[in-house]
């Protein structure tokens, strides 16, 4: 029964993505008794993909919005990824069943659509999150970028609240920015480089 559920979930995700061309796919890595990133800001229509890296873990829903589909999927060498389509607004909490007592928990918050356009190009590929330790903005670049790179943080009205310029970036670079104190909420992290643009959402606590 669980295998059938997984197959139907993946099929539904693929069909949904074909209809929602501008939806974002958020990647969460599962390894070392942690989900990375641990917190995400997403929109209804986005997808969450958990990618297994090592160990034996699950992604198991805890407290989720009324009407949202729950999930309980084991991630291991035989099943290295699981896709979940976000269809309901609200806060989603989940855990790894074998390691919940060790703090392997995480969450994501889904909101409705926004008038701000989100754009992504194959030339730019990064993850962004806020450190719970020092509240810094962290960025991990999955591809190298030659030339000048402009980073901006915008609120949901489109107002730029922080900017920084970066020189060429090597693949795998992890950059950290200590921004001014900003109100708690959802923001947009924008990267512009070589006439390309990518925007991702981030929750600031």
- Quote the tokens at residue 19: 């209809």
Give the range among 4-8, 83-87, 110-114, 133-137 with minimum mean pLDDT: 4-8
Q: Could you read off the pLDDT of 31-71 as tens digits, one per residue? A: 989 999 999 988 887 889 999 999 999 999 999 998 888 99
Domain 126-204 has CATH 3.30.420.40: no
Residue linked to tokens 């109100």: 183
Please state the rounded mean pLDDT for residues 9-38.
65
Q: Are the folds of 2-111 and 126-204 the same?
A: yes
**Assigned CATH topology for domain 2-111:** Immunoglobulin-like (2.60.40)
* Residues 50, 153, 24, 5, CA torsion sign: positive
Q: What residue segments make up the domains of the chain, in order of their start?
A: 2-111, 126-204
Q: How far apart are CA 109 and CA 41, in angstroms?
A: 5
- Pairwise pLDDT comparison (105 vs 116), residue with the higher score: 105
> Which residue from 188, 124, 199, 130 is spatially nearest to 159, judged by alpha carbons?
188
Q: How far, CA to CA in Å, does 32 sit from each of 51, 73, 95, 122, 184?
A: 13, 18, 14, 29, 29
Q: What SS3 class is residue 155?
A: coil
Per-residue pLDDT at 91 exceeds 90: yes
Q: Could you read off the pLDDT of 111-144 as tens digits, one per residue? A: 875 444 444 445 578 888 888 788 899 988 888 8
Is 79 within 8 Å of 52 (Cβ atoms)? Answer: yes
- The pLDDT, as a whole number, for residue 21 is 39
Total residues found in the chain within this entry = 205
167-173, Cβ contacts within 8 angstroms, sequence gap of 24 or more = 168/144, 169/141, 169/144, 169/145, 170/141, 170/144, 171/141, 171/142, 171/143, 171/144, 172/140, 172/141, 172/142, 173/140, 173/141, 173/144
Phi, psi of 15 (to 5 degrees): -65, -40
Please state the rounded mean pLDDT for residues 69-94.
90
- Write the DSSP string, 90-123: EEEEEE-GGGGGGT-EEEEEEE---SSPP---TT
- The pLDDT, as a whole number, for residue 51 is 94
- The pLDDT, as a whole number, for residue 123 is 58
Q: How far apart are CA 178 and CA 169, in angstroms?
A: 19
Residue linked to tokens 């591809």: 143
Q: How far apart are CA 98 and CA 53, in angstroms?
A: 16
Q: Could you read off the pLDDT of 184-197 as tens digits, one per residue? A: 888 888 888 888 88
Q: Could you read off the pLDDT of 151-199 as tens digits, one per residue? A: 999 887 678 899 999 888 888 899 998 988 888 888 888 888 888 888 8
């Amino acid at each position: 029964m669980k295998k059938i559920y997984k197959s139907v979930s993946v099929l539904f995700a693929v069909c949904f993505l074909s209809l929602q061309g501008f939806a974002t796919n958020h990647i969460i890595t599962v390894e070392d008794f942690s989900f990375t990133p641990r917190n995400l800001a997403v929109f209804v229509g986005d997808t969450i993909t958990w990618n297994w890296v090592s160990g034996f873990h699950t992604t198991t829903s805890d407290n989720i919005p009324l009407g949202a589909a729950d999930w309980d999927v084991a991630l291991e060498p035989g099943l290295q990824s699981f896709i979940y389509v976000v269809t309901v607004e609200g806060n989603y909490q989940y855990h790894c069943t074998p390691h919940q007592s060790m703090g392997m928990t995480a969450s994501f918050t889904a909101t409705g659509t926004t008038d701000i356009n989100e754009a992504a190009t194959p030339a730019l590929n990064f993850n962004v999150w806020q450190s719970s330790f020092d509240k810094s903005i962290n960025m991990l670049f999955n591809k190298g970028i030659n030339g000048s790179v402009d980073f901006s943080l915008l609120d949901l009205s489109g107002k730029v609240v922080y900017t920084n310029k970066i020189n060429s970036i090597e693949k795998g670079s992890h950059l950290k920015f200590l921004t001014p104190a900003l109100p708690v909420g959802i923001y947009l992290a924008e990267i512009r480089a070589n006439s390309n643009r990518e925007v991702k959402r981030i929750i600031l606590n």
